[in-house]
Amino acid sequence: QVQLQESGPGLVKPSETLSLTCTVSGGSISSYYWSWIRQPAGKGLEWIGRIYTSGNTNYNPSLKSRATMSVDTSKNQFSLKLSSVTAADTAVYYCARAYSGSLSWFDPWGQGTLVTVSS
């Protein structure tokens, strides 16, 4: 079955750019919408954005245009960049697949990766 795995630095300095990659295995990345979702410690889930394999993107306006997603179908990967990070961006970051279309529940999810913003 399809599995997702997040990767990237676990520590990012304030004002710098957070960069994460999600690798999809067990299936093709094509023809699906892929999202990033984050969860600060002890808090709820916040959707960051989605990308289709054509490269079309949607982002949560709460991130004030700091998020950029990209996709590399040849590597079965998609990525997130979040610029000008602050301590408030410290969270576990999950990648997930929208099951069907852009308006969909998420399944499966990656295991998540903790990103800490600190100098």
- Interaction site with another protein (CB under 8 A): 44-47, 58, 60-61, 94, 96, 98-99, 102-107, 109-112
CA separation for the pair 45, 33 (Å, rounded) = 18
> In this complex, which beta carbon is closest to another protein, that of residue 71 or of residue 96?
96
How far is the C-alpha of 100 from the C-alpha of 17, rounded, in Å? 31
Tokens of 65: 């245009």
Q: Nearest distance from residue 16's CB to another protein, in Å?
A: 26
Provide, rounded to whole angstroms, the least separation between the CB of residue 71 and another protein.
18
Closest approach of Cβ 102 to another protein, in Å? 6
Is the separation of the CB atoms in 23 and 76 below 8 Å? yes
Measured from the CB atom, the residue of 16 and 98 that comes closer to another protein is 98
Residue 26 and residue 2 in contact, taking contact as beta carbons nearer than 8 Å: yes
Choice between 111 and 116, CB closer to another protein: 111
What is the CB neighbour count within 10 angstroms for residue 34?
24
Residue 92 C-beta: closest distance to another protein, Å: 9
